[in-house]
Amino acid sequence: MSQPTTLARLERLLVVVPWLVAHPGTPVEEVCARFGVDREALLADLDVLGYCGVPGYGGGDLVQVHLVDDAITVRLADALERPLRPTAEEAAALLLAVRTAQRLPGVADLEALEGAAAALERVLGSEAGAVTVTVEAPDATTVGVVREALEGGVPLGLDYLDAAGQRSDRVVEPWRVTVAEGVWYLQAHCRRAGAPRDFRLDRIVAAQALADDPHGVRAAPDPLPAPGFDPPPGDEELVLLVDPADAWVAEQLPGARSARRGHALEIRAPLGRQAWAVRFVASLGGRARVEAPTSVARAVVERAQEALAAHDAWHGREGGPERSRATGDG
């Protein structure tokens, strides 16, 4: 099993722990099924909680985890049970999250969210009016069609844009919609690939429920793994050198692992698609050096040279943007 990123583990704990506090004595297998996590990962997460503590960090003084007869009970310290008054910054962040949830399609308990928003606005007072929210959510029509297919147990026809910017038509057999690291995915069997695939909802250009399809939807794997990059056998490694201050780069690469190498940090991750790797490294703006493969290193250099040539051509052409503005021609 690959090691989860720090962000992925934190996101999971923030969801699982409050639920376990509210449902003491829940069997391990029930928790695994509910949150789509395997037993080993869940127990590793709960083990981390045992190290949460106040200075001295002996553990157990903030969060207590009990595993008895394969049933989990999580208790918080009394200080954590008492309601806290958030700072203005914390209240604004919470209000932003609530207003975002209100604008997402398919949210059922809008009344509860409105109550939470009103309470946060009372904390913020006059500052609440300064909080505005713009949500770039998956198209509501697409979400509705996906939900219809899931509820009806029928395949979906997708017009899909992948990470490399390539558009394709696919027929998929949907299993569930889930979120991982802040991104919503449709998990399904892709007939074109002949294998399970994860489709980002924000990359679905159009979707159509295929109610008349004669083949139906096959059963999902049990358990269905969380969305993630599963490198093919024999996939090359992307090896980067970064400054230790840029350790966050490893968090952006699925399956990455890192280690100190002299004064630098070496990051190794499955390569996946070379085009994606080239775009990713180029987006770092020189903060990473490609050690391997050499094909990616050359492609990054060529991409940078093309960008510089285009920049020079734009600013060096006759007239140029400055001349156009001066003469009123542009």
Beta bridge partners of 196: 189
**What pLDDT does residue 12 have?**
80
User: Is the C-alpha dihedral spanning 251, 252, 254, 257 positive or negative?
Assistant: negative
**What pLDDT does residue 134 have?**
53
Distance CA(227)–CA(218), nearest Å, equals 18
| Domain boundaries 6-81, corresponding CATH code | 1.10.10.10
Q: Residue 155 CB: number of other CB atoms within 10 A?
A: 26
Distance CA(68)–CA(80), nearest Å, equals 23
Where do you find CATH 2.30.30 in the chain?
140-209
Low-confidence ranges of the chain (pLDDT < 50): 1-3, 318-330
**What pLDDT does residue 173 have?**
96
Burial class (CB in 10 A: 0-12, 13-18, 19+), 325: exposed
Q: Which fold has domain 140-209?
A: SH3 type barrels. (2.30.30)
List, in order, residues 6 or more apart from 186 with CB less than 8 Å away. Answer: 146, 156, 172, 174, 176, 177, 198, 199, 200, 201, 204
Where do you find CATH 1.10.10.10 in the chain?
6-81
Written as six digits, the tokens of 179 are: 């979120």
> Is 267:300 a contact under the CB 8 Å cutoff?
no
